[in-house]
Amino acid sequence: MRAFIAIELPPAIKKELRLLQDQLKPLAAEVKWVKPENIHLTLKFLGEINEEKIGRIKELLVRVTGDKRRFVLALSSVGAFPKVRWPRVIWVGVEDKDNLASKLAAELEEGTDKLGIPREKRGFSAHITIGRVGSTNACKELSEKIEGLKNWPEGKRLEFGVDKLVLFKSTLAPGGAVYEAVKEANFNIA
């Protein structure tokens, strides 16, 4: 099973991200947009895992969340990897003031490493992928638009509460990936 661990986003935040995508879609660049219902904040990509590891990952989620309390994150900016001038991935930044998402990602990285799942080569950067650029043709206009949105969401504070982690199964289908929650683990301290 192809899987990942993520923070699910509330409908109001997904709506704001869809509106942001709608600002970028009319541009000529070739971009595969993440369906709004699939948008999430990945903490750990697991890749292909077997049934035995699924059970152990579920246990890990319960351990990681059990002694923690709910926290708040906020959307903070728009950017691109590897850089705005040569975009391959269009993302929205996540303000993680107390580094709680980063600490969770590190804990999950440590726990999954013990299960034989390779560590990420890059350090964790709290972001939400909203699109993947298919070709560098016509990227100049896209780059300029992203540059103009670096202060997004201007005048708004787009916060959301995080009260659980979700283990998702990802199935590749002709219409794009389909995500299914396999396990939800709630933070237990109020």
Which CATH number do you get for residue 37?
3.90.1140.10
DSSP 58: H
For residue 103, CA distances in Å to 44, 48, 53, 68, 87 come to 12, 24, 22, 11, 28
Of 8-12, 14-18, 127-131, 141-145, the one with minimum mean pLDDT is 141-145
Tell me if 164 is assigned to some domain: yes
Name the pLDDT band for 190 (thresholds 50, 70, 90). low
Tell me if 151 is assigned to some domain: no
Tell me if 146 is assigned to some domain: no
Q: CA 89, CA 57: separation in Å to the nearest integer?
A: 28
Residue 67 annotated among the catalytic residues of the structure: no
Maximum C-alpha span of the chain: 50
Residue 69 annotated among the catalytic residues of the structure: no
Q: CA 14, CA 78: separation in Å to the nearest integer?
A: 15
To the nearest whole percent, how much of the chain has pLDDT over 70? 99
pLDDT of 188 reads: 80
Tell me if 92 is assigned to some domain: no
Number of domains in the chain: 1
Q: Give 3-state DSSP helix, strand, coil % of the chain, rounded to 5.
A: 30, 40, 30
pLDDT tens digits, one per residue of 43-102:
999 999 998 999 999 999 999 999 899 999 999 999 999 999 989 999 999 999 899 999
Tell me if 32 is assigned to some domain: yes
Catalytic position from the list 14, 40, 53, 183: 40
- The number of CA neighbours under 13 Å toward the Cβ of 76 is 11
Catalytic position from the list 78, 127, 130, 133: 127
Tell me if 115 is assigned to some domain: yes
Tell me if 85 is assigned to some domain: no
Tell me if 19 is assigned to some domain: yes
Range of the domain at 177: 2-74+99-127+156-186
pLDDT tens digits, one per residue of 129-186:
999 998 877 788 999 999 999 889 888 899 999 999 999 999 988 888 899 999 999 9
pLDDT of 15 reads: 96
